[in-house]
């Protein structure tokens, strides 16, 4: 295990005055009071990306977020009126982590096309790219940030989106344009009066973005279980993982869950967080073209249940982000997992208050 040295600097912004950093967070509108009639499940129809079919050129299912909610509603476990809609992250919100230079770089359609891995985006007017691609991402960032507040208040929260774990303060990539995980944690440090956060990243890919961002921050403990034989091959970022479990392509359900059990036991002994940020990518599914693991749909539900129990048994608030997943079946699998969490009473989609 490798442990980073202590620091409270904003990732990538070592020279930014702390007062400006704090002021931006305190003046943000992304934290707002949510009525008790709502459940701590966050989604907006603006999350879904659709633009003349261009979005289909990337294997990521950019309509999965809406389909997750539709499945939950169809199954009768959720009502539209009880879903929380977040606000869009503003430029000032994004500047809490990102630099002016990085945000300015997104005014280039070519740059965005490289980040989202869809070459035709490069020839589109940037105003369209902002509206059809980056605006949905900024809404999801707002959802991730709000999820931390709701998790502290209700015990759990799910942003049906977010989990852009390849984006760091100064660099996007892998369909990740904004560092929502880093942002939500920095907002939580200032607004929620907490100082210890654990990231449990179970997407099939290494979470190199947040690892770079918190490389010198001992307030954040990172557990990352990933396929070491696929993107992003970020050897520098791997140095900053507190607890890493590197899997081989083809890892099956039973072995995966055994590795998870062992890892959670170690994490429990190593760190006592006040908040868990759970990056719950479904690209671990058998058949996923990019994740290259062989975990069953039932295995995903068991995985999520184990992580939620890990937090519940220690009375630690948890927020979940849906992150990667490159098959049409991912939406159904995520919905089924959320239904299972509800049946196991690890989340409450009925009661106005999830934690008594």
The answer to whether 350 and 79 have CB atoms below 8 angstroms apart is no
Question: Would you call the peptide bond into 249 cis, given omega within 30 degrees of 0 as the criterion?
Answer: no
DSSP state of 57: G
With a CB cutoff of 8 Å and minimum separation 6, the contacts of 189 are 195, 197, 219
The answer to whether 239 and 2 have CB atoms below 8 angstroms apart is yes
Task: Please say whether the dihedral angle defined by the alpha carbons of residues 154, 178, 209 and 10, taken in this order, is positive or negative.
Answer: negative
Catalytic annotation, pick one of 166, 186, 205, 210: 166
Start-to-end CA distance of the chain, whole Å, equals 36
- Backbone dihedral angles phi then psi of residue 128, each to the nearest 5 degrees: -70, -40
Active site residue 166: yes
Helices 18-27/180-191 angle, 10° precision: 90
Taking the C-alpha atoms of residue 323 and residue 245, their distance in angstroms, rounded to an integer, is 19
Positions marked active-site: 166
């Amino acid at each position: 295990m490798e442990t980073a040295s202590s620091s409270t600097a904003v990732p990538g912004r070592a020279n930014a005055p702390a007062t400006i950093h704090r002021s931006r967070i305190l003046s943000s509108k992304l934290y707002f009071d949510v009525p008790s009639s709502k459940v701590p499940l966050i989604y907006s129809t603006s999350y879904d990306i659709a633009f003349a079919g261009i979005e289909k050129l990337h294997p990521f299912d950019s309509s999965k977020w809406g389909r997750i909610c539709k499945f939950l509603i169809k199954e009768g476990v959720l009502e539209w009126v009880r879903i929380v809609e977040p606000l869009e992250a503003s430029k000032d919100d994004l500047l809490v982590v990102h630099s002016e230079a990085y945000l300015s770089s997104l005014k280039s359609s070519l740059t965005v096309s490289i980040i989202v891995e869809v070459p035709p985006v490069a020839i589109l007017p940037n105003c369209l790219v902002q509206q059809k691609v980056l605006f949905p991402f900024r809404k999801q960032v707002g959802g991730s940030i709000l999820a931390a507040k709701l998790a502290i208040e209700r015990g759990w929260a799910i942003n049906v989106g977010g989990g852009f774990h390849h984006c760091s303060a100064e660099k996007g990539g892998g369909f990740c344009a904004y560092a929502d995980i880093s942002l939500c944690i920095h907002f939580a440090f200032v607004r929620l009066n907490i100082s210890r956060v654990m990231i449990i990243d179970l997407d099939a890919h290494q979470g190199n973005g947040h690892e770079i961002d918190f490389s010198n921050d001992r307030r954040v403990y990172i557990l990352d279980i990933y396929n070491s034989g696929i993107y992003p091959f970020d050897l520098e970022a791997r140095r900053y993982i507190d607890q890493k479990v590197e899997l081989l392509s083809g890892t099956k359900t039973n072995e995966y869950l055994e590795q998870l059990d062992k890892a959670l036991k170690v994490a429990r002994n190593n760190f006592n967080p006040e908040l868990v940020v759970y990056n719950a990518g479904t690209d671990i599914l058998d058949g996923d073209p990019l994740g290259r693991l062989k975990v069953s749909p039932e295995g995903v539900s068991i995985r999520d249940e184990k992580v939620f129990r890990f937090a519940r048994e220690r009375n630690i608030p948890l927020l979940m982000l849906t992150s990667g997943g490159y098959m049409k079946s991912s939406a159904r699998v995520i919905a089924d997992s959320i239904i299972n969490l509800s049946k196991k009473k690890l989340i409450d989609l009925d009661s106005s208050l999830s934690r008594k």
